Amino acid sequence: MEKNVQISILLQIYGKLLTTTQYNFLDDYYNSDLSLSEIAENRNMTRQAARDNIKKGENRLFEYEEKLNIMQKTLKQEKKISEILTEITKIQTRFTDKQIANMLEHVKHELNNVM
């Protein structure tokens, strides 16, 4: 997974655990796509100071993920649900029993609600 996408996901999961300042730096950089220069200018600081703040926030997010594994578990769960939905669709297309089709449609609906 690309680092920018990974950080953005981690920020969604663990963002509330960061300080407001750390969150804002990461949000500006990864979600608002501001450059280091733009962030530094907006906060009246050097580009290096902005970079340091972003790196500290990144490190904090990776520490949380290392300890809690929420992102990994979520991605694994979503992959498994997707595989199950694919299999259900295969069953629905191969068999014509109306009751089975209705039951499988209900299961698909419930699985989609989990995602």
**Section 62-70 average pLDDT:** 96
Per-residue DSSP letter, 43: T
% the chain with pLDDT above 90: 64
Query: Which of 7-11, 81-85, 102-106, 110-114 reaches the highest mean pLDDT?
Result: 7-11
Nearest to 60 by CA among 5, 2, 11, 1: 11
Cα maximum dimension of the chain? 68
Residues 25-42 have a mean pLDDT of 96
Between CA 35 and CA 32 the distance in angstroms is 9
Give the whole-angstrom CA distance, residue 115 versus residue 82: 9
